[in-house]
Structure 1
Amino acid sequence: MLKSARKEEKDPEGRMPLAEHLRELRNRLAKAILAIVVGAVVGAVFYQDIIDILTEPIQKSVGCNTAFTELAKKGDGACGNITMSGLMGPFTLMIKVSLMSGVVLASPIWLYQLWGFVAPGLHQHEKRYSLAFVAAGFPLFLAGGWFSYHVLPAAAEVLIDFTPDGAVNLLPLDELLDLVTRMVIVFGLSFEMPLLLVMLNLGGVVSGRRMLGWWRGMIMGVTVFAAFATPTVDPVSMLSLATPIVLLYFVAVGFSLLNDLRRARAEAAEPSPDEASDLDLTPEDIGEIETVSASRTVPEQSGPDRERVNGYDDVT
């Protein structure tokens, strides 16, 4: 009964006191943290498998056909010397990998909690746009991460080729995982750039024609960004990041041009608020006007002894 009464008392527009906002924020944060902890426990259980998956691109680049963890157990470093530094190094790495896995595995839950906290304050069209951006942004980020994961072998091969002859290249596992994570995040966020341009166009900030005029500077900027974002100096990795971003940029420009055309047609169909409306010049029957005028006249008073209400007569 109390829960149903609270639901009925909620404002349909999502307004509530500050204390209620803080209480809802606390509950949603608790649910999101609990989901991340559960995901971290799952990541700790499959810790070795996650290490093998993340190091597979580097493993292939140096010609290993066996997982690095299996090589470490056998003591065979013929095709890769994975090292750990410090007594607490393995434990710290396990915690880092587990938390990262928990955040990834629990992303649907904490994203839903974030949406549930923000959505009541949005208008209907804002909810529609935000859902569309989330629905498009998540696959774009996954596409960027997948792309970086398949670019890593070429990048690792170029980097390892700089090792001098006769020297043994020791590969610290924590630095290796940091490199893989950084590449996935950089590629994933880079693939979100066209979505940002589309959002600015839908908000009326930038037109599609103006975005099209930026194409020379955009190609140059994306190329420079890819040169600094990729950890290698070879043009293959740089072009591997720059090419899909440029293609997505032109896709965003095409969408913005179509959206501007649709908006222009909608504005042309509706009258402008600054324009005067058309006058109705149809003549009216005089008899009808007299009837309306007569009905709007003040009624005659009954006499000096007319009824008063609260000290005033009916005319007053």
Structure 2
Amino acid sequence: MSRTEIKSRRPRLRRRKKSPTNPDAMSVMEHLDELRSRIVKSLLAFVVISIIAFILYDALLEVIVRPYCGLPQAVRPTVGTDRGETCRLVFINPLGGFQFRLKVTALAGLLFASPVWLYQLWAFVTPGLTVKEKRYAVPFVASSVTLFLLGSSFAYFSLPTGLGLLLRIGGDNLIGLLDAERYLNFVGLMLIAFGVTFELPIVLFFLGLGGVVDVEQLRRQRKAALVSIVALAAIVTPSQDPYTMLILAAPLYAFYELTILLLVVVLRRKTKRSV
């Protein structure tokens, strides 16, 4: 073999060593770039929806004050104006009205952008999953969004009862004059706390699907789960009244039992397919 033939083969050998990399195998910098991209997209959705909410502020304000204004006048004061008695919140800070409007739009942006940031969360972890695990992308996003909005709706419709109890508990000689910003903080915490807590069945389901916990273990730990759910409801409920805690704890335990049932069905199908 001549020297010219050997030289002509050397570049070929070098080119063969440069095999294409696995598209799912990402470096640390690539992961950081991907994370930055997902965060930017989530923030963009949040900003766009917040701007829309800022424009539709009057309609949102009516929805927010409805749980309070729907209470009997015996437990809430009315503010007299030249147009007669009406239900209104108050603020004592010159910037209170502007801050309240910003918080309303931010809360609406966070809630209604949940489909986007939940999808971005799933899209970020997808490259590290197998092909079979990626099949759960649509069910994960759909169920996460549904449960988050269901939890927030559950909190909203339980607000009148919880507020009525809290405003009456001080006695007949006391009447609450609610500050607008603190009222919004209370409502926002309730909506977000219920929404996030309703995501627990999703976490539990995927832990069971991944083999971290098994169905028999979940069945044996029913009593411990019930105590933990009640404790969690007491922690995340801003009002700390028993009625609101019960409203949160009851569906969570129902979801716990439903998660066990779903895991049994899914794992049986998975076993049959493997056989």
Structure with greater helix share of residues: 2
Q: Deviations over 1:236-291 (max 9, x none)?
A: 32322221111111111122233444455566x3xxxxxxxxxxxxxxxxxxxxxx
User: Pairwise mapping of residues 162-177 of structure 1 onto structure 2 (< 5 A)?
Assistant: 162-177=169-184
1:36 paired with 2:36, answer: no
1:56 maps to which of 30, 44, 66: 66
Q: For residue 196 of structure 1, what is the aligned residue in structure 2?
A: 203
SS across alignment from 2:178 = strand
Q: 2:197 aligned with 1:185, yes or no?
A: no
1:154 to 2:164 alignment: no
Q: Is the 8 A contact 2:118 2:145 kept in 1?
A: no
Please say which structure displays the higher CA radius of gyration. 1
Secondary structure in 2 aligned to 1:83? coil
Match of 1:84? Answer: 91
SS in 2 for 1:245: helix
Residue 82 and residue 132 in structure 1: after superposition, are their counterparts in 2 closer, same or farther (change >3 A)?
same
Q: Deviations over 1:33-76 (max 9, x none)?
A: 33332222211111222122112112212359xxx9xx769467
TM-score calculated relative to the size of structure 2: 0.77
Aligned identity (percent) is 33
CA-CA distance at 1:29 after TM superposition: 4.4
Report the equivalent of 2:12: none
* SS of equivalent residue, structure 1 residue 61: coil
Q: Which is further off, 10-19 or 152-161?
A: 10-19
**What is the aligned partner in structure 2 of residue 240 from structure 1?**
247
Where structure 2 has 5 or more consecutive residues not aligned to the other structure, the ranges are: 1-19
CA distance in 1 between partners of 2:269 and 2:116 (Å):
36
- Determine helix, strand or coil for the equivalent of 2:53: helix
Greater Cα offset, 129-138 or 10-19? 10-19
Q: Is the 8 A contact 1:13 1:121 kept in 2?
A: no
TM-fit CA distance, 1:191: 1.7
Change (3 A) 1:223 1:113: closer
Structure 1: distance between partners of 2:30 and 2:36: 10
1:46 aligns with 2:35: no
Confirm or deny: 8 A CA contact 1:207 1:257 kept in the other structure.
Answer: no
- Cα distance in 2 for partners of 1:81, 1:111 equals 35
Query: What is the one-letter code of the residue matched to 1:204?
Result: G
Does residue 13 (structure 1) correspond to residue 20 (structure 2)? The answer is no
**Alignment match, 2:219:** 212
Deviation at 1:140, TM superposition (A): 1.0
Equivalent residue of 1:62, what SS? coil
**What's the C-alpha RMSD, in Å, of the aligned pairs?**
3.2
Give 2:165's aligned amino acid: V
The unaligned stretches of length 5 or more in structure 1 are: 1-9, 270-316
Counterpart of 1:139?
146
Deviation at 1:158, TM superposition (A): 0.4
Q: Match of 2:166, SS?
A: helix
Task: Determine helix, strand or coil for the equivalent of 2:212.
Answer: coil
- Determine helix, strand or coil for the equivalent of 2:143: helix
Report the residue type matching 2:48 in the other structure. V
Q: Is the 8 A contact 2:79 2:85 kept in 1?
A: no
- 1:102-134 Cα distance to aligned partner (Å, 9 max, x none): 333444444444554543443322322343222
